[in-house]
Amino acid sequence: MEPESDHASDSAETKCKKQAACHTYCAKLNLLKYQQSFIKNEPPFIYSGDTNTTTFKKWVREVRDWKDQARLTTGQSIRMLGKYLSGLAYRFYERDILDLQKGYSLTEFFEQLFDYIFPPDFHMQQHQKFLECQQDSKQSVCDYLQHLRNLVDTAGDVDEWEMVRQFWMNYQPYIKASLVDKGYKPNT
CB 89 within 8 A of CB 50: no
* Closest to 38 (Cα-Cα) out of 1, 11, 67, 6: 67
Contacts of 150 (CB under 8 A, 6+ apart): 53, 54
Averaged pLDDT score across all residues of the chain: 85
DSSP state of 94: I
Q: Residue type at 31?
A: L
Phi, psi dihedral angles at 85 (to 5 degrees): -130, 150
Cα torsion 88, 94, 97, 101 to 10°: value is: -140
Per-residue model confidence (pLDDT) at position 158: 87
Per-residue model confidence (pLDDT) at position 2: 57
CB 170 within 8 A of CB 149: no
pLDDT-flagged residues of the chain (< 50): none
Per-residue model confidence (pLDDT) at position 22: 72
How confident is the model over 140-162, as pLDDT tens digits? 989 998 999 989 988 878 888 89
How confident is the model over 40-64, as pLDDT tens digits? 667 899 999 999 999 999 999 999 9
